[in-house]
């Protein structure tokens, strides 16, 4: 039976950062106990549905139940948000226990928890490890206090460094640090300093994201109103190249546009997304892709709690995207056509250094890459944005900086 990636969304943050447009809220902590109950219920119900009904519209007709186990295998589990570390350790333990009881969590499953530096105390770290979390992602974002202030972060650079050291001391052997560049007013020297200090720490994994000014966020309004300087895209490109230069020299491999890892520490959960493998997302606003079906949970945490309660009365055989959409737990559910699936495979797969392999694509869709996309492939090869290597279509060196130029051509 094909294993899946399991995503658990935590829509709470102590304060909302001015650049963030994720489905997360400050000031609704009173909902946490009901939300955790609902989440545990949703996990149990999906576990039952996928175990008892693997050939329904929630799974591929190609999937078959493993003879040894009727539970859906889960290869990776990811607590994302929001701020998962904002939940109490008891809540994390309960959700891990529920996931283990509801699914067949593979023995070597990667279990990641996203955290804010201020929450990364020794006590919590020990509790997360005990619960089964084996990979910690720390939202450091910058090691410059002025930029952290601009980003509305509640921690200092020193606290971010301390969080990392605490995690190491607690025995975490797989740590990711999230950092942002291309920030308003950020200089190349500031970025270089942050990179040097971070590389000196030797986390196993680095996610380095260029700031996107999301419409409707306070930061976007401040930039539009001239209150903070507009980020310079050329400088951001220089920062990206510097990151690749420095991380590469320090032994990290850029395996995805925004992600670098020491050998063997690539994020298995995110690889499942980029390789268009099946995943299940639970919690408000979470997305799922179980072969042939794409669906998203309602975004409002309050509505989520109510809808899970209502839908928990359904028999497992009725726990399907179509029925859950009708009952309002899902805000969207659609069958993904072959053409759309091919486009998504290209757009996600080309983000990876490994690219998109021709032969598996042919086996999956009945067409090779050049037959499926003759014009796009030819043009992108001519523009030296893509290249062929070992039967795979990959980003060429120029393509790494111009990824969006590449991906949008496969839309539609």
The residues binding ligand SF4 (CB under 6 A) are 13, 16-17, 20, 22, 24, 81-83, 116, 139
As measured in angstroms, the least distance from the Cβ of 92 to ligand SF4 is 17
Checking DSSP bridges between strand 104-115 and strand 135-141, what pairing results, if any? parallel
Contact between 142 and 178 under an 8 Å Cβ cutoff? The reply is no
As measured in angstroms, the least distance from the Cβ of 215 to ligand SF4 is 15
Report the distance separating Cα 38 and Cα 337, nearest Å. 32
Beta bridge partners of 112: 78, 135
As measured in angstroms, the least distance from the Cβ of 299 to ligand SF4 is 14
Backbone angles phi, psi at 52, to 5 degrees: -95, -15
User: Is the Cβ of residue 11 or residue 292 nearer to ligand SF4 in the bound state?
Assistant: 11
In sequence order, what are the residues at sequence separation of 6 or more whose Cβ sits closer than 8 angstroms to the Cβ of residue 345?
276, 356, 361, 364, 365
User: Is the Cβ of residue 139 or residue 292 nearer to ligand SF4 in the bound state?
Assistant: 139
As measured in angstroms, the least distance from the Cβ of 241 to ligand SF4 is 25
* Nearest partner of 262 among 210, 179, 207, 206, judged by Cα: 206
User: Is the Cβ of residue 22 or residue 400 nearer to ligand SF4 in the bound state?
Assistant: 22
User: Is the Cβ of residue 22 or residue 365 nearer to ligand SF4 in the bound state?
Assistant: 22
In sequence order, what are the residues at sequence separation of 6 or more whose Cβ sits closer than 8 angstroms to the Cβ of residue 404?
none
User: Is the Cβ of residue 218 or residue 368 nearer to ligand SF4 in the bound state?
Assistant: 218
The stretches of 207-357 forming alpha helices (DSSP H) are 218-224, 233-249, 268-274, 301-311, 321-326, 338-349
As measured in angstroms, the least distance from the Cβ of 83 to ligand SF4 is 5
User: Is the Cβ of residue 47 or residue 82 nearer to ligand SF4 in the bound state?
Assistant: 82
Total count of residues recorded for the chain: 412
Report the distance separating Cα 129 and Cα 134, nearest Å. 6
Q: Which helix (H) or strand (E) holds 360?
A: helix 358-365
| 346 Cα distance to chain centroid | 18
As measured in angstroms, the least distance from the Cβ of 327 to ligand SF4 is 28
Beta bridge partners of 115: 138
User: Is the Cβ of residue 23 or residue 298 nearer to ligand SF4 in the bound state?
Assistant: 23
């Amino acid at each position: 039976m094909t294993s899946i990636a399991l995503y658990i969304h935590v829509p709470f943050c102590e304060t909302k950062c001015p650049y963030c447009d994720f489905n997360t809220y400050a000031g609704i902590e009173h909902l946490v106990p009901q939300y955790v109950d609902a989440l545990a219920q949703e996990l149990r119900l999906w576990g039952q549905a996928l175990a008892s009904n693997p050939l329904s519209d929630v799974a591929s007709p190609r999937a078959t139940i493993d003879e040894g186990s009727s539970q859906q295998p889960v290869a990776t589990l990811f607590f994302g948000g929001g701020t998962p570390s904002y939940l109490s350790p008891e809540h994390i333990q309960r959700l891990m226990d529920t996931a283990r009881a509801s699914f067949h969590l593979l023995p070597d499953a990667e279990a990641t928890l996203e955290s804010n530096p201020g929450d990364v105390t020794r006590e919590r770290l020990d509790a997360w490890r005990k619960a089964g979390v084996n990979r910690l992602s720390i939202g450091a974002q910058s090691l410059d206090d002025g930029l952290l202030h601009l980003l509305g972060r509640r921690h200092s650079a020193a606290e971010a460094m301390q969080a990392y050291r605490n995690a190491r001391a607690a025995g975490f052997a797989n740590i990711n640090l999230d950092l942002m560049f291309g920030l308003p007013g950020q200089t190349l020297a500031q970025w270089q300093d942050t990179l040097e200090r971070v590389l000196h720490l030797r986390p196993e994994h680095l996610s380095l994201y260029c700031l996107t000014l999301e419409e409707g966020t306070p930061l976007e309004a401040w930039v539009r109103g001239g209150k903070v300087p507009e980020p310079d895209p050329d400088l951001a490109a220089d920062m990206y190249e510097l990151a690749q230069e420095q991380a590469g020299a320090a032994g990290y491999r850029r395996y995805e546009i925004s992600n670098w890892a020491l050998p063997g520490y690539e994020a298995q959960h995110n690889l499942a997304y980029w390789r268009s493998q099946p995943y299940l997302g639970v919690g408000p606003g979470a997305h799922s892709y179980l072969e042939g079906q794409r669906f998203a949970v309602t975004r409002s945490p309050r509505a989520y709690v109510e809808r899970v309660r209502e839908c928990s009365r359904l028999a497992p055989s009725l726990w399907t995207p179509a029925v859950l959409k009708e009952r309002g737990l899902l805000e969207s559910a659609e069958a993904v056509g072959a053409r759309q699936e091919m486009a998504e495979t290209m757009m996600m797969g080309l983000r990876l250094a490994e690219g998109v392999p021709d032969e598996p694509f042919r086996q999956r869709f009945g067409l090779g890459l050049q037959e499926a996309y003759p014009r796009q492939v030819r043009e992108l090869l001519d523009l030296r944005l893509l290249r062929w290597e070992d039967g795979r279509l990959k980003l060429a060196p120029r393509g790494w900086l111009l990824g969006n130029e590449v991906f949008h051509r496969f839309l539609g």
